[in-house]
Structure 1
Amino acid sequence: MQRRRFIAHTAGMAALSGAALPAAMAADADASARPTVEPYDWRSVPFGGGGYIDGFLFHPREAGLLYCRTDIGGAYRFDPQARRWWPLLDHLDKADADLMGVLSLAVDPRDADRLYALCGLYLSKEVRDGALLASTDRGRSWTVHELGVKVGGNSPGRGSGERLQVDPWAGEVLYLGSSQDGLLKSTDRGRRFRQLDLPVRHVSLVLMDPASGSAGKPASRLYVGSHDQPGLYVSDDGGKTFQREPGTPAQAPQHAAIGPDGVLYVAFAIGDGVHVANPSYATTGGIWKRDPGHGRPVWTEITPVKPGIGLKGFGYSGLDVDRQQPGRLIVSTIERWAEGDDLFLSEDGGAHWTALGARSRHEVAARPWLANYKRATRRPDPMGHWIADVKIDPFNSARAVYGTGYGLWMTDNLTQATQAARTAGAAGPSDVANAADAAGTVNWRFEVNNIEETATLEIRSPSGGAALLAAMGDVSGAAWDDLTQSPATGLFAPSNETNRSVDVAELEPRVLARTSDHVATGGYASIDGGKSWRAFGPSDRVAKTAQGHRAPTGLVAVSAKGGFMVWAPERQPALWSKDQGRRWARCDGWPADPGPLLAPVADRAVEGVFYLLDRAQGRVLMSVNGGQSFAPALTGLPALNDGQNAQLISAPGRGRDLWLALPHGLFRLSGTENALGAPSAIPPVAEAWMVALGKAAPGAPYHAIYVWGRVSAGGASPVEGYFRSDDEGRHFVRIGDALHRYGRLLSMTADPLTHGTVFLAPHGRGVIIGRPQSKAKAQP
């Protein structure tokens, strides 16, 4: 693996860190004369996808206008000329971070500039209520309308929809299907909603029939699907009354569409689809159509392949019709674990179907990590998993897009499958045409340029070797040598889905460790900078929860020279190793009731010294024997609960030089061999949620300090954002702006070799790199 050259810290660096400040920097400059804002260039570090794309929306009247939504990473608009996606919700601040979960999108068919997003992450009482975000400029700016109800953008059933609809004839009328509060209606473009009388709490979809309205007359026919009362409901009076649609199964409608000939198609599944409880996955489902005919409408089942039972059970979710060719539609299975999910295409209203998996070719060369991931999962996966939604471009029948649990695929030659269906001959709904040799190939490209949705849990920028290391949920982790490209070597190998933590020895960056939920021993160590990895040796860690699930493997820290490691599995006693992870023993003195957020910290200058912020007890523990035992080194700190941000980090170059980010401010700690002195407050910082140290400014004697929190820059009142100090915290400049706030961070680090460069790991947005605009290099 080609990496940055390895750089060992020397005694000279330690001496530099302790040098006296130049007089000009030590003196308190006039705050009003200091710049308070430094323009920064913020952009994603390329990885490509990595998260669940659970919905797409083409505008019905403007060619090329396409949006997608994600469960935790916001929404995006596609630029077809640049073949690039533009994130639309990066402006959200910490208080609104839960709005990065997008449960549904809607456009106004009569006004292409209007876009609506139904946002919220979870349904528990502790989280923020959901909101409707309204835009009149395609997502460039937003107005927030609070809903007063919870919205489950990352909750069971999130792949169904769309739940949000704008009346095609009256743009002021919106219908909103909620996660647990039924169906809501607005007559003022989403400013206010009222609940309609429908015996459904968890709405799965809302669909309006344009043929039931006309210019100046709102549509009267409304279809509503339900998860909690499985079935399809219909209203013919604009939502005043509803009745169960006769002839449809008692299953949850996932997606529905009306063809150009007026035929209604619906995909059904038992269960919410994706992470449902009891049963865990969709167990059955089907495709049904409603032909208006000349008499009473009739429902007919047209399911391509009937689900089996047990492990062979699955559902149907994605569904769309070709707006240019009546009777042409595409559908997707969901949670078809035995054979792998697939897409099915029909051009005669579901009388005959073509399975696309055997006729598809997926291009993965541009994203080496994806090839690693697909090999590592070892599951039948011809098209990808969790195919919740698929769409055909209403202006181009050859173009289609579908989402998976790790990104999205797009094709411009879907007509190849149509030709294949004609060649393959007749096949009934349960006898799918599958002869690959009689088919043209449908070519899919991983169209994820600038979609970065990995749940990046921890990041590090080493002093040598890779420019950036990341531990990621679901897709393992990776190392970047070139920050302008997706990792050339793909994922850490072996790749084992969720990696929770990664750390590197400050003075010997060839030594690395990472934790992994999917490896039996809980993690890996490397002594060659990540070229190869060796599984941790045995330990008494409990690998399964009481419910039988994999126990989260928690956080790991590597000592300054790499001779020791301390590992804190979540909610379990910590372990230490003196042979780079080959053998593990319990740490003495660790908190008796370990919570989920206990993070061991290695001293970055002194070998074998570790620290721990004991949040519940308001103290800092220290080990001077490689993690074998910990003892209190500082007490009297405020106790914190799990919902409060706090972080302890160690500065390179000088032993026992610590920085502590707390809701009450930023503090510096220093001490002797076995104790730490009283915290020294950094006055400009009112609240510190995370802190990082990076390369010192030219001529400055100490590391640059980066803070995410509320800081007073230049003497002004504290404001939320990202800040940097080049003079040990005396003064800060704001480096963030109103368009780049990214909701909630999970990790932050700074480049030790390049001044001004900081990395952010927001929840569900991959990795963000920030650099001064004056230094930022152009990237494709």
Structure 2
Amino acid sequence: MIRFLFAFLTVSLSHGAYEWHSVQIRGGGYVHGVQFHPSTENLAYIRTDVGGAYKYNSSDHSWIALNDAFNDGNDMGSMAIGLDPDNPEVVYSTGGLYTDLAWCGEASFLRSSDRGKTWEKLPLNTNTVSGTDNSKVTSSGSLCLAGNGTGRGTGNRIAAKGQTIYLGTSQNGLLKSTNKGSNWESVDYFSTSSGVSAVQFDKNGNIYAAPYGGGVFYSNDGQNWTQLGSFSQTVYQMSYNPTNNELWLTVNSSNPLDQNSAGGGAVYKCDLDNKTAAEIDMPQDYNGFLGISVNPQDAQQIVVSTVGTWGGNGGPIDGASFKSHEGIYMSVDGGATWKDIVAHGVFDANSAYNAASSNPHWMSALAINPFDGNHVTFGTGYGMWSTFDAKAENPTWIYTSTGIEETVPLGLASTPKGAPLVSVVGDVDGFYHSNLDTPPLSRHKLSDSKSEAGTNYDLAWAQNQPEIMVRVHKNSNHGLGAYSDDGGLNWTNFASHPDASGSGENNFIAISADASTIVWNMANSGMHYSTDQGKTWQAASNTAIELSGFRPVADKINANVFYLYNAGSGKLYQSSDKGINWAVINSDLAQVDDWAYGNMNLFSSPAQEGELWVTQGANIYACAEGCSWSDNFKGGLWFGDGKVLRSTDGGASFKDVNGFLYGRQVAFGKGKTEDFAIYLVGMANDGTQGVFRSDDNGTSWTRVNDDNHQFGGVDRIGADPCIYSRIYISGSGRGIIYGQEPGSVNTSCSERSDFNKPTKLAPKPSITYSWQRQQNMITSKQSLTLRNVQGRIVEHSLSGEVNLTNHKAGIYLLQVGNSPQNYKIFNP
């Protein structure tokens, strides 16, 4: 292959003044843990399986993403959150997605001393953890955690008290640190255990641990351990009641660590003074139990969520016909009686936007606000719901997922017509984003305008007819894909599909510049094409062996031409007859194993016919000291050629785009002085990772993001053809984020919904705070806090009742629930 170098290329590491916002979807992923600080009001955190941790914003019941400065997606797998009851400034978390030792990333322990504003990453490996079984670490000595694996909803796995921290791992037993996580030792007693699902300190300083093998064990020194009574079941979650020194447990006899199908459930209360465990009588209409929470300031209030029932119907949008898959039992008398506050509740569909069609499930995240017993919140597979009147006859549930963005985008399209952005995503189809700052009311639908497919794998649009789009999904009963002629607002199922077994993540589609031809590369049966909008399909000349599993791209100018880069063989294919025949035009590109295919990508430029860009993996040399990538790539990183290439002759020859150690993604948007700005996701020669922009056709580059906006690493990028500087990116489990220079507005594309419209955030779900006064009694469905005029709390009522005869005459300030407003009360 012929290559030339671009001369005088410069890469600027300074970044432009970009502002960053989440494209509003709200939720979209599994929130598997929530924790309120037991002694500090309005302080709470959630953890997600692939999108990191969030902190509660009590002023509007939204959530603040805490891990956007991370550049490693593995650290976005948050398996645990740890709080120190005596120090509200401290918060701990973990990083790690999977536990397969052949390919999992290095686990990390994350600590913050400023409530999650900044973090220190501490690796978990044989250098920092002593006594670990070498058969349970990677070849480089790293431990691995299952933030997105089996048991991720168990917990809590971190117990912290001053300098001492215990961490329950996924397959390395129990770890103990006496210096806040800087170093660890494996606790010998659990050295033969695979994992530990939960750990907890009691008020006397004793530590309790629940290994996967069953039972609860306690110690007063971390070295000598005793089993708690005869209890021997596998614990899913535990919650501590400091008033009575009790530990409450959920257990399941079948699939005991699974948030989807655990069964044979039971709830236990452990008397820690007498070291006994007793099973609690629960209602019989359940299968298993997941989450459990005891109010630390009201020992009589407990909530428990169910699992494996799957007996629901519809979503909150369906009104009276909606029935939740799972329930939440609440007791206000210490477990003597129980009420399902989900089954008796009313779900506010309007607050949920597109999530109103989803049904609650996987309720491992469950908590009572210790300062407001009416405030109960739970996580599900797609976000958070909360009630602020849990003790009412029919509690109202509100979708409190503002700020949580956890979808995994698999395709982004920004065109000159219709919405500024159309997406396809994992699990929840994708969306028509007519306003980036307001959640869409629904997901992409199928032809019946009601059904949803779930995961969508790919999205493409016609360059010269941008209102024509195609997408691929996993529902074989609805064509495995769909066609839109109104820019993604409405969709028509493909009338047929080539191969039902081809549904999967390696199922890719492209459409010609004039929208006359669709080419579809099926995962198992190879390339097919359609000239009648998916009604019929014909096989291309090449077999699945040559082309299947790779993404075709259309030439943005010539409607007859398509391309495909086979990273398994290093060959570039071209079709010049609308996908019928394919021929090798270049056989000298990088060749890699299948695990690295995602970094070997082909992009077609709208600047001119035959302009192609190729990313070819990474070739980072080993660096022990003195280079900025040493922390992430100590041994170097080699796959492919580590080149970013550019062709202007349809791939016959390429030039190196110099200045980068590697690139992953390329996009083209509205230019500043040139016709197009070019964006590249990769690493500059000095080791700086980021998103770079060129305004001079690739001669020089400027980084547009900064170290505080890395979102776990950028997996995908799209650029706006109507707004200079605007890009759309997907972080690691952080949904879709758009970045732009301040004040950027669409003033050039009049057929777009955002023409001459500045961005504006949608209102958050409203929460009504109400109270009544009859003579000296003040009552509310929410908690009541009474303060004197100096601001000191004189009464805090979780039951929502305040009797003014118990207080001196004068003026008081009344707060209802977490309302930011105070009401002036006169007590005669």
- Aligned pair 1:359/2:344, yes or no? yes
CA distance in 1, matches of 2:268, 2:395: 26
Give the partner amino acid of 1:509: P
Provide closer, same or farther for how the CA distance between residues 398 and 571 of structure 1 changes in structure 2, counting only shifts above 3 A. same
Alignment match, 2:594: 642
Which range moved further: 761-770 or 681-690? 681-690
Q: Which residue of structure 1 aligns with residue 282 of structure 2? A: 303
Counterpart check, 1:514 vs 2:471: yes
Q: Aligned-pair distance for 1:281?
A: 2.2
C-alpha displacement of 1:773: 3.1
> What CA distance in whole angstroms lies between the structure 2 residues aligned with 1:531 and 1:741?
31
Give the equivalent residue in structure 2 for 1:680: 655
Q: Tell me how far apart the structure 2 counterparts of residues 300 and 733 of structure 1 sit (CA, whole Å).
A: 63
Q: Which residue of 2 aligns with 1:722?
A: 691
Q: Deviations over 1:258-316 (max 9, x none)?
A: 2522232111123556768xxx82122111112458x6735133233364xxxxxx320
Structure 2 stretches lacking a partner, 5+ long: 1-5, 126-142, 313-324, 618-641, 746-757, 762-828
Matched, 1:326 2:279: no
Tell me if the contact between 1:119 and 1:132 (Cα under 8 Å) persists in the aligned partners.
yes
Aligned to 2:664: 689
In structure 2, what is the Cα distance between the partners aligned to 1:35 and 1:251?
A: 51
Distance in 2 between the 1:485 and 1:296 partners?
A: 53
1:201 aligns with 2:194: yes
Give the CA deviation at 1:542: 3.8
Q: Distance in 2 between matches of 1:97 and 1:406?
A: 20
Are the structure 2 counterparts of residues 298 and 233 from structure 1 closer, same or farther at C-alpha, using a change threshold of 3 Å?
Answer: closer
Aligned equivalents of 1:35, 1:342: Cα separation in 2: 52
1:760 aligns with 2:740: no
Cα distance 1:572–1:252, how it changes in 2: closer, same or farther (>3 A)? Answer: farther
The one of 239, 242, 263 equivalent to 2:246 is: 263
CA distance in 2: counterparts of 1:144 and 1:138, whole angstroms: 15
Counterpart residue identity of residue 358, structure 1: A
For residue 86 of structure 1, report the CA deviation from its aligned partner. 1.3
1:591 & 1:193 partners in 2: Cα distance?
50
Task: Specify the code of the residue in structure 2 equivalent to 1:322.
Answer: N
User: Shift of residue 488 of structure 1?
Assistant: 4.2
Amino acid at match of 1:680: K
> Secondary structure, in 3 states, of the residue corresponding to 2:73?
helix
The answer on whether the counterparts of 2:45 and 2:54 sit within 8 Å (CA) in structure 1 is yes
Q: Give, in whole Å, the separation in 2 of the partners of 1:589 and 1:350.
A: 67
Question: CA–CA distance in 2 between the matches of 1:296 and 1:162?
Answer: 20
Please give the secondary structure, in 1, of the residue aligned with 2:343: helix
Q: What is the correspondence of 1:147-166 to structure 2 with a 5 Å cutoff?
A: 147-148=124-125, 149-166=143-160
Matched residue SS, 2:350: coil
The answer to which of 46-55 and 770-779 deviates more is 770-779
Where does residue 584 of structure 1 map in the other structure? 537
Separation (CA, whole Å) in 2 of partners of 1:707 and 1:40: 16
Q: Per-residue CA shift, 1:325-360, capped at 9, x if unaligned? A: 222100001222135211001112222110122221
Q: Is the 8 A contact 2:53 2:67 kept in 1?
A: yes
CA deviation string 1:669-697 (max 9, x = no partner): 122xxx63310122233311111011111
Q: Find the aligned partners of 2:257 and 2:487 in 1 and give their Cα distance.
A: 37
- Tell me if 1:189 matches 2:180: yes
Q: Which residue of 1 aligns with 2:27?
A: 49
Separation of aligned partners in 1, 2:587 and 2:347: 57
For structure 1, list consecutive stretches of 5 or more residues without a partner in the other structure: 1-25, 213-218, 308-313, 375-380, 417-439, 545-549
Change in Cα spacing, 1:305 to 1:270, as seen in structure 2 (3 Å) is: same
Aligned match of 2:415? 462
Matching of residues 467-616 of structure 1 within 5 Å: 467-493=420-446, 494-520=451-477, 521-543=479-501, 551-552=504-505, 554-590=507-543, 592=545, 596=549, 598-616=550-568
CA-CA distance at 1:775 after TM superposition: 3.3
SS at match of 1:502: strand
Cα deviation for residue 203 of structure 1 reads 1.1
Mapped partners of 1:275, 1:628: distance in 2: 47
TM-score normalised by L of structure 1: 0.83
Partner of 1:419: none
| Aligned equivalents of 1:185, 1:599: Cα separation in 2 | 47
Kindly provide the CA deviation profile for residues 558-609 of structure 1, in whole angstroms up to 9, marking residues without a partner as x.
111211111223354222211111112222225516665x111111122132
Task: Write the letter of the residue equivalent to 2:33.
Answer: G
Report SS of the residue matched to 2:379. strand
Write the letter of the residue equivalent to 1:63.
E
8 Å Cα contact 2:457/2:504 also seen in 1: no
What's 2:825 paired with?
A: none
* Counterpart-to-counterpart distance in 1, 2:365 and 2:374: 17
- Say if 2:166 is the partner of 1:175: yes
What SS does the corresponding residue of 1:156 show, helix, strand or coil?
Answer: coil
Is the Cα–Cα contact under 8 Å of residues 120 and 130 in structure 1 kept in the other structure? yes
Matched, 1:75 2:53: yes
How far apart are residue 462 of structure 1 and its match? 1.8
Contact 2:480–2:497 under 8 Å retained in 1? no
Structure-2 change in CA distance of 1:718 and 1:237 (3 Å): closer
Please report the RMSD computed on the Cα atoms of aligned residues, expressed in angstroms: 2.3
**C-alpha offsets along residues 505-538 of structure 1, whole Å, 9 cap, x if unaligned?**
1111221111111342311112232333222233
SS of 1:78's equivalent in the other structure is strand
* TM-fit CA distance, 1:468: 0.6
Q: What is the aligned partner in structure 2 of residue 624 from structure 1? A: 576
In 2: Cα distance, 1:272 partner to 1:745 partner: 35
Closer, same or farther: CA 392–136 of 1 in aligned 2, 3 Å: same
* 1:121 aligned residue (89, 97, 103): 97
SS of match in other structure, 1:254: strand
1:652 and 2:625 aligned: no
Residue-pair matches, total: 681
Judging changes above 3 Å, is the alpha-carbon distance between structure 1 residues 463 and 290 closer, same or farther for their aligned structure 2 residues?
same
Query: 8 Å contact 1:684–1:731 — kept in the other structure?
Result: no
Letter of the structure 1 residue corresponding to residue 199 of structure 2: V
Give the Cα separation in 2 of the matches to 1:480 and 1:55: 29
The reply on whether 1:40 has 2:14 as its aligned counterpart is no
CA–CA distance in structure 2, aligned partners of residues 593 and 621 of structure 1 = 10
Which letter does structure 2 place at the counterpart of 1:614?
N
Deviates more, 1:346-355 or 1:722-731: 346-355
1:599 is matched by which residue type in structure 2?
A: R
- Secondary structure (helix, strand or coil) at the match of 1:368 reads helix
Residues 218 and 227 in structure 2, CA contact (< 8 A), matched pair in contact too: no
CA contact (8 A) 1:457 1:746 kept: no
Task: Provide the rounded CA distance (Å) in 1 between the counterparts of 2:662 and 2:88.
Answer: 42
Deviation at 1:735, TM superposition (A): 0.4
Shift of 1:552: 4.3
Which residue, out of 670, 674, 690, partners 2:648? 670
Equivalent residue, structure 2, for 1:288? 268
Q: Deviations over 1:218-259 (max 9, x none)?
A: x1x2222233x1x22222333323343334353333333325
Among 328, 347, 362, the residue aligned to 1:343 = 328
Residue 109 (1) aligns with residue 85 (2) = yes
Separation in structure 2 between the aligned mates of residue 705 and residue 590 of structure 1, nearest angstrom: 34
Is 1:141 aligned to 2:118, yes or no? yes
One-letter amino acid matched to 1:45: V
1:273 and 1:335 in contact (8 A); partners too: no
- Aligned to 2:111, the other structure's residue is in SS state strand
Residues 147 and 292 (structure 1), Cα distance of their counterparts in 2 relative to 1, 3 Å cut: closer
CA distance, structure 1, for counterparts of residue 272 and residue 258 of structure 2: 35
CA contact (8 A) 2:13 2:688 kept: no
In 2, distance between residues paired with 1:62 and 1:287? 28
Could you tell me the percent identity over the aligned residues?
28
Distance 1:296 1:466, change over 3 A: closer
Q: 3-state SS of the aligned residue for 1:269? A: strand
- 8 Å Cα contact 2:173-2:196 kept in structure 1: yes
